[in-house]
Amino acid sequence: MTEIPEHLRKRAEAARAKAAEQAAAPAADAAPAAETAAPSGEASRIPAHLLERSKSAKSKGAATETAVAATGGGVATAVATAAPPPTATGPGGHTQRLLTVVKAGSIQDVKSVPVDKVHTWPHLLAVEFVASLLMFAFVLIFSVFVNAPLLALANINQTPNPSKAPWYFLGLQELLTMFHPMVAGVTIPGMGIFLLILAPYIDRNPSNKPEDRKFAISLFTVQMMFWAVLVIIGSFFRGPGFNFVAPWTAGLFFEL
């Protein structure tokens, strides 16, 4: 048999003694509350003001019953006017009742409701102003150190070879070397623009965090890389006759 530790035995003895004291306490209080209809255990848990109210109501009921019996001249009819003592069902022996449930929002004082919008001034315009200043400073410094001379007058009797469009149109010129003009100039650019128009209706994600906008970022990246690759090929890898050449072997046929 396992031996019970000494501290557990002392704790059990103390608990038994405490339980015996609590059991003896209601018996000592039962004599003053003998007039009530509730048992001694329940009477000890009813507040004193309720016991006094019950005693006064019972005494009034007894007086009413005696008066009715005296004036009836026959069988006495008992009129019960006193309400039974409350049943102790709540915590600590008290009867409780839920009146209503009040929503937390109706009693809380909300100072301001947080929103996900900011004012145009100064939040947006200040950032745009700083960005324009930085871009102006970059262009100014770049123009000081890099010359941009005008070319010679065009000769109508001599067509340059290769004849290239401005760099922002070289993507379309590169597509013309691969597809029919209708496909290269209308169908492919039109499909790209139409897809960009539908993008806000396809991706309805309200978040402005890059990690949550994978569809929008992927669509923009594909569009930008598609045209960037075509412009780079047309600028640096097309030589005389708009043929494909390597810039490190035949030279660079590109001018701004």
pTM for this model (two decimals)? 0.45
Instruction: Tell me what pLDDT residue 49 has.
Output: 76
Under CATH, which number does the domain 161-250 receive? 1.10.287
Q: Please give the single-letter amino acid code of residue 103.
A: K
Instruction: Tell me what pLDDT residue 135 has.
Output: 97
Closest to 242 measured CA to CA, from 169, 177, 146: 177
C-alpha–C-alpha distance, residues 46 and 40, integer Å: 10
Closest to 63 measured CA to CA, from 53, 51, 78, 52: 78
pLDDT tens string for the chain (256 positions)?
Answer: 556 778 888 888 888 888 888 887 765 555 555 444 444 444 456 777 777 888 888 887 776 666 555 555 444 444 444 455 555 555 555 666 656 666 665 556 556 666 677 788 888 899 999 999 999 999 999 999 888 778 788 888 888 888 888 888 999 999 999 999 999 999 999 999 999 899 889 888 888 888 888 998 999 999 999 999 999 999 999 988 889 999 888 888 887 6
CB burial class (10 A; 0-12, 13-18, 19+) of residue 19?
A: exposed
What residue spans define the domains of the chain?
6-88, 161-250
C-alpha–C-alpha distance, residues 128 and 204, integer Å: 26
Instruction: Tell me what pLDDT residue 73 has.
Output: 47
Instruction: Tell me what pLDDT residue 99 has.
Output: 61
